[in-house]
């Protein structure tokens, strides 16, 4: 497998509107486990999100753009509640197939809507923290810039976009590690395709540069975190 360059052509099975709905639902459910194992949000919560929410000194509004099955924002909401931090949490995704899975995680202060970043921006919505997980690598160059600009326009504080850092080691480890979780889902094929579509840190910094000032960090092994300051 050549991973020296980004594979922009490869498409993920879950991005096909006609993909098997049962496998898609199983994939969205199991993202919870996969994201806990690989996404690094526990560390990002402790190092970035928690200090930021504390610094506000008031209840925050937090938005997850492209929330999929909603597990990342649900986990962050639980972590913040455990730390005594009050906030209002909203997950949005334009894919109506994701919403039934996400809405099972709804609770006090946590809701989900079927809307994309541009439409939400058009509503004049504003949040203290806007984040995403595993959205950037799905997007075309134009979509990436629009998504990044939308996220800055929706935030009056911090913007955090987390994604995979492409590497041969990540590919090899994922190919082996995903085996017990993959049956009945798209996790194996789509995870490997995701890694092929993903950026390296310098590539992501270049790709985002027309859409404002971003810093691309490496918060955990095989992870990227694009950090921006909201403009709202």
Which residues of the shown chain bind ligand SAM in the complex (CB under 6 A)?
31, 35, 65-69, 72, 92-95, 98, 116-117, 133-135, 138, 147
Which residue number, 87 or 133, has a Cβ lying nearer to ligand SAM?
Answer: 133
Which residue number, 25 or 56, has a Cβ lying nearer to ligand SAM?
Answer: 25
For 13, the token pair is: 């099975």
Shortest approach of ligand SAM to residue 84 CB, angstroms? 26
Which residue number, 56 or 79, has a Cβ lying nearer to ligand SAM?
Answer: 79
Which residues, other chains included, contact 53 with Cβ-Cβ below 8 Å and sequence gap of 6+? Answer: 60, 62, 80, 85, 87, 128, 129
Shortest approach of ligand SAM to residue 110 CB, angstroms? 15
Which residue number, 8 or 86, has a Cβ lying nearer to ligand SAM?
Answer: 8
Which residues, other chains included, contact 20 with Cβ-Cβ below 8 Å and sequence gap of 6+? Answer: none
Q: Which residue is nearest to ligand SAM (CB)?
A: 68
Shortest approach of ligand SAM to residue 32 CB, angstroms? 8
Shortest approach of ligand SAM to residue 174 CB, angstroms? 14
Shortest approach of ligand SAM to residue 31 CB, angstroms? 4
Which residues, other chains included, contact 79 with Cβ-Cβ below 8 Å and sequence gap of 6+? Answer: 42, 45, 50
Which residue number, 56 or 232, has a Cβ lying nearer to ligand SAM?
Answer: 232
Three-point CA angle 201, 204, 209, nearest 5°: 125
**DSSP letters spanning 172-232:** HHHHHHTTTT-TTSSHHHHHHHHHHHPBPHHHHHHHHGGGS-EEEE--STTEEEEEEE---
């Amino acid at each position: 497998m050549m991973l020296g360059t980004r594979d922009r052509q490869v498409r993920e099975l879950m991005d096909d509107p006609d993909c098997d709905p049962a496998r898609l639902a199983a994939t969205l459910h199991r993202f919870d486990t996969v994201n806990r194992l690989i996404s690094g949000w526990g560390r990002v919560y402790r190092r970035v999100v928690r200090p930021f929410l504390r610094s506000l000194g008031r209840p925050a509004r937090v938005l997850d753009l492209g929330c999929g099955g909603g597990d990342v924002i649900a986990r962050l909401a639980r972590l913040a509640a455990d730390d005594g931090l009050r906030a209002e949490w909203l997950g949005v995704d334009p894919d109506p197939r994701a919403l039934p899975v996400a809405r099972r995680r709804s609770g006090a202060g946590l809701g989900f809507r079927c809307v994309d970043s541009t439409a939400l921006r058009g509503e004049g919505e504003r949040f203290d923290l806007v984040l995403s997980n595993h959205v950037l690598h799905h997007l075309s160059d134009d979509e990436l810039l629009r998504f990044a600009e939308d996220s800055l326009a929706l935030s009056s504080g911090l913007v955090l976009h987390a994604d995979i850092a492409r590497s041969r080691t990540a590919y090899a480890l994922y190919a082996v590690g995903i085996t017990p979780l993959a049956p009945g889902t798209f996790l194996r094929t789509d995870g490997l395709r995701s890694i092929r579509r993903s950026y390296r840190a310098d590539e992501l910094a270049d790709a985002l540069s027309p859409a404002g000032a971003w810093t691309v960090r490496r918060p955990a092994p095989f992870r990227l975190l694009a950090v921006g300051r909201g403009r709202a």
